[in-house]
Structure 1
Amino acid sequence: METEVWRLPISATQRGKLISAGYTSLSSLSSVSTSLLARDLNITDSEAIEILRVVSGKNSVDGGHAIVKGGQSAWDMLHEEESMRRITTSCAELDNILGGGISCREVTEIGGVPGIGKTQLGIQLAVNVQIPPHCGGLEGKAIYIDTEGSFMVERVLQIAEAYIEDMAEYHRFLYKDSRASPVETQGKDILESIYYFRVCSYTEQIALINFLDKFVSEHKDVKLVIIDSVTFHFRQDFDDLALRTRVLSSMALKLMQLAKKFSLAVVLLNQVTTKYTEGSFQLSLALGDSWSHSCTNRVILYWNGNERYAYIDKSPSLRSASAPFSVTGRGIRNSDSSCKRSKLMHSSE
């Protein structure tokens, strides 16, 4: 006997609308599209997405017995974590606290005040994901989703040209034999490996994230997805906070599934807001508690005097730690103070 719609963990109003429209069983919802369901029930696409997500979860239960997939031992999980590929940030100390860089198969949120370097770091990662395997890279492509209009292609070219110079220098170091082939990558090649999307509303953002699975299936060399910034339109345009929470949760789930399915890194850049806590105003990441569990790792960028720092705020595998970094004309680099410390150490030896 089919599971009735009235058993679904959705609101009574939504259950009533489903039954009134003739959707009385899970099978009747198994092949319906989001737009058709939204039209039949006179609801938003976001609500239709959420209903279908709940239905797909219920469909994984057959006759009261859950169909469990992907069981693995804790030993396998440890091995998988240790062999996880990462994308360098071009800052050694920042890479160090990140366990080697930004992890694939995970969602990493990077937040901070305006001007701290979030977009600069995002652009650097979009370039660095293209580092070839023999140099320790992924030789992948990047998707850059811009919600604020902060992506500057001239700056991307600047960082790309610095990357090409660094790769040429590394190549000369690696192959001291002058007969070795030189690096022939050009700035145009780097820019052509970054797929850029500009979204101007939260509905466009949701639609694009729903489309990513198909896009990455057709472009399997994509190893990084960046959203800059992930919460911008949700802060500006949403009045219904309960609906906003549901839509954000659904979006976060899709991004986590995307990271796992295609073994790629998802990086969410986020803004900060002012929060009144215990008699004083404090900075916290935008959307606060409703968004706080939507990523695997969280990195906070902040100022300490005139120096930029990154802090591991949340991670299941990384310890809380801080590291300085610099934003230079060539991109993200080691901080000036850490370079000075290194020179002092060498001179004292």
Structure 2
Amino acid sequence: MTTNESIGDKFISHRMLSSFDINDELLQKLNTKGFTLKSEIQAVSDDTLRLMCNLSDEQLNTINELIRKSHKTIINHLTVSHIRKLSGNRIHTSLPSLDIALGGGLEVSKVTQICGEGGVGKTQICMQLCITVQIPEQFGGLSSHALYIDTENNLRPERLQSMAAFCLESYPELKQRYCAESMVSNVHLFSCNTNSRDLFELIMSRIEHFLDHHQEVRLVIIDSIANLFRYDYKGNEFQREYEISQMGHKIKSIAHRKRVAFLISNQVTYIPVEGKDTPALGKLWQTYCSTSFLIKRYGEYRKTYTLKSVNIETDRHFFFQITKNGIKEVLPDEVVDAIINNNKL
């Protein structure tokens, strides 16, 4: 497979089903059950798709044939430059290596996941993006607001304000338009720390309604997605998987239809057989995330691994540090010098 084909495969997997030549009746059946992207169909078996959408064998074969035909046609004409032109607006993260892994920053219409153990810095990245999304495009933002869904009482207004103040010091020309207090007020908060049912209802019913009435919001953060779902469904894994699947479908659908970027923090689960941490909530949940990163702690530094990205190979890593002003990338040499002989790298 050539490089263009490899990139094209990944890109087309995130195509909206409405862009394929599927008739309205079939498309309505798929959309009603939350299937809006090709990758979402690929994540389930034919039998599951038939059962969920009440499809006949003929309808199922028609869908598969149309997708394969369109896939082959587009691959023959797709180039890297075309893919870049089709990318939406992006939000810079303040970490250049992370921006590169994201193809230029956090992308509108996509779902990005950052995962790691508690206290590793996920919330710091989330809060940093709440500030940078507000600045003009020429400085790496979208001149927009953020919606923050907090399930762990992690959001700290005073921390947001210190990040905003440093941002304004870094770009003095912005002071005519912004102040730190106004930037904090542009972060809309939904607190949901009670149970998984409340979070499920929030995602399925309230987010889209809120965005309809607040079109200035272009970034939605869920911090974190796993906290409530890891403990509320003991003994009922089928119901848990079903609701996680429904949430994933809904989040991706909202991201594409409303042209907002989703940034979701997730916890990790240790897999003894593999000897490593993996994102919580299982493999099905991971299919709803376009890009995923794993953060690990090394003393005062954080090492971020790329788990899933269409822009760079997986397992690429970089370092950052949490400072009083926000998050800051550091060079590997700085980290090695600081913790030499510690055998942590």
Whether these two folds match at TM > 0.5 is yes
Structure-2 change in CA distance of 1:258 and 1:76 (3 Å): farther
Structure-2 change in CA distance of 1:87 and 1:202 (3 Å): same
Mapped to 2, the partners of 1:136 and 1:267 lie a distance apart of 16
For the residue of structure 2 that corresponds to 1:114, the secondary structure is coil
- 1:142-163 alpha-carbon deviations (Å, 9 max, x no partner): 1100111111111111111111
What is the Cα deviation at residue 257 of structure 1? 0.8
Aligned: 1:198 with 2:194: no
1:25-64 matches, within 5 Å, as: 54=52
2:112/2:292 contact within 8 Å kept: yes
Mapped to 2, the partners of 1:272 and 1:340 lie a distance apart of 24
Mapped to 1, the partners of 2:175 and 2:230 lie a distance apart of 48
What is the Cα deviation at residue 80 of structure 1? 5.2
Stretches of structure 2 lacking an aligned partner (at least 5 in a row):
1-24, 30-47, 337-345
For the residue of structure 2 that corresponds to 1:214, the secondary structure is helix
Task: Count residues with an aligned counterpart.
Answer: 280
Mapped to 2, the partners of 1:183 and 1:333 lie a distance apart of 25
Which residue in 2 is equivalent to 1:237? 232
Structure-2 change in CA distance of 1:282 and 1:261 (3 Å): same
Aligned: 1:289 with 2:283: yes
Q: Alpha carbon RMSD of aligned pairs, Å?
A: 3.5
Aligned mate of 1:221, from 216, 219, 222: 216
Normalization by structure 2: what TM-score? Answer: 0.71
What is the Cα deviation at residue 139 of structure 1? 0.7
Mapped to 2, the partners of 1:58 and 1:185 lie a distance apart of 53
Which residue in 2 is equivalent to 1:314? 308
- 1:90-141 alpha-carbon deviations (Å, 9 max, x no partner): 1223222322221211111100122211000000011111111232421111
1:109/1:298 contact within 8 Å kept: yes
What is the Cα deviation at residue 317 of structure 1? 3.6
Mapped to 2, the partners of 1:283 and 1:340 lie a distance apart of 22
What is the Cα deviation at residue 300 of structure 1? 0.7
Aligned mate of 1:79, from 79, 82, 93: 82
Mapped to 1, the partners of 2:196 and 2:279 lie a distance apart of 18
What is the Cα deviation at residue 315 of structure 1? 2.0
Structure-2 change in CA distance of 1:58 and 1:251 (3 Å): farther
Amino acid at match of 1:277: V
Name whichever of 256-265 and 309-318 sits farther off: 309-318
What is the Cα deviation at residue 186 of structure 1? 0.8
What is the Cα deviation at residue 314 of structure 1? 0.9
Normalization by structure 1: what TM-score? Answer: 0.70
What is the Cα deviation at residue 231 of structure 1? 0.9
Percent identity reads 29
Aligned: 1:249 with 2:245: yes
For the residue of structure 1 that corresponds to 2:155, the secondary structure is coil
2:109/2:260 contact within 8 Å kept: yes
Structure-2 change in CA distance of 1:294 and 1:182 (3 Å): closer
Name whichever of 290-299 and 332-341 sits farther off: 332-341
Stretches of structure 1 lacking an aligned partner (at least 5 in a row):
1-25, 31-49, 172-180, 342-349
Which residue in 2 is equivalent to 1:166? 170
1:82-121 matches, within 5 Å, as: 82=85, 83-121=87-125
